[in-house]
Amino acid sequence: MNLRAHVHPMFASLSISDEIADHLNPKEKDYLPIVAYNNSKLCSVLGAFELHRRFADRGLKIFVVHPGNAVYSNLCRNWWVYKVLYAIVRPFTKSLQQAAACSVYCAISPDVINCSGLYINNCVPCLPSPEALSPVLANKLWVFSLDLIEQRLGKKAFFCD
């Protein structure tokens, strides 16, 4: 199960024609935190769907789960902007227990027991962004990731093709 924020469609800058390394490790002058964050979420969704494409026939169940927007947690508790923002929107946020419901749904619900490769938002299968559904982009990211692992650990690190 892959727990992801639903920001992957916004401000992500990966495309089939671009060099993935340039987007995931931009030059300092080109770095924007929101783009980096959203690219990381898009990569996570792409990776999950590529796992599904490669291993679903072996019984592996893959779900990309969005727990909901504005989940109240202590993640940014030391940032004053977060404190001000959540003082205003707290009545409209989800609790951690409510956010966890989507993951529990994927783990035990009979609705999805025979499913894999789904993007689940608030316990409902949904379509992710078009970029997240690109098998070409997912494969490109897969190959890039394997190359990084091989550079660091060598070929002996691989247990899959």
Residues 6+ apart with CB under 8 A from 84: none
Nearest 5 degrees, angle CA 59-CA 63-CA 65? 165
Residues 6+ apart with CB under 8 A from 96: 71, 72, 73
> Is 37 annotated as catalytic?
yes
Locate 106 and state its tokens.
């994927």
- Give the β-pairing of 124-126 and 118-121: antiparallel
Locate 6 and state its tokens.
């639903």
Give me the catalytic one of 31, 37, 72, 105. Answer: 37
Residues annotated as part of the active site: 37
